[in-house]
Structure 1
């Protein structure tokens, strides 16, 4: 299967496993580490994942990967929760985590409600309106960030 992205193949094997367990794929990374590769999978569900969820996904996926033999290189499989600073990858994530503190980085300078240009926005997610993420910034003003301008976003842990 030359030219086929191993991460895509793994993702195709993973979705039925996660669907059957009521879990969602947050992020999948396949990266070179030392002499081998690291296949890192982050899973979640509304009430949060536990060690048993991670272990079961790891077992099920390992069997599928052995059967399909789609990764030719040596690799280590890690399955875990996304943690307290969970990445926000989909518009639905911003809806789901409305009311939570988040850090959003944009691909270009955008202005907040007061006209201040910036690329980093820290504030409380207020929701999504027509493809625009609305955040109440820590310092007060609101920011409206078009979905296609978001480079990276994640939840922030509040003490």
Structure 2
């Protein structure tokens, strides 16, 4: 049976979601000054709760190589169609570039920023009438769908990783 025993978040407002589903919640504020100690605390919680998979959603922090070496089963959702617009503010950069599609990418986290093996991707059309807020709104909907598909594929053991690529069995 699939179980979600814990939500660790750097956003305290997500406690309501955890309570709604009767999931333990840990709020850990993280920034560049306390990152090492906070990641140690997160790893302790992952071990305590016997977590098999970490799903990063709205985390908006770069996970350290040390953390990934200790816990390599991490799926991240990135709010662009990688490899385009790696890192922060991809919707703003996509808007500035005048793209006609925006996307979302779910991938395994690696020590290289937004460069891990891709599990799932999708796109949505945008037009010259769309502002940055429109791109963000459309992208958030797409991110949810892409992340759900990726996690489902992973949990159903339908993802085979080789090198920096994946085969996802339908």
**TM (normalized to structure 2)?**
0.29
Structure with more relative contact order (C-alpha pairs < 8 Å, separation 6 or more): 1
**Larger strand fraction of residues:** 1
**Larger helix fraction of residues:** 2
Larger Rg computed on CA atoms = 1
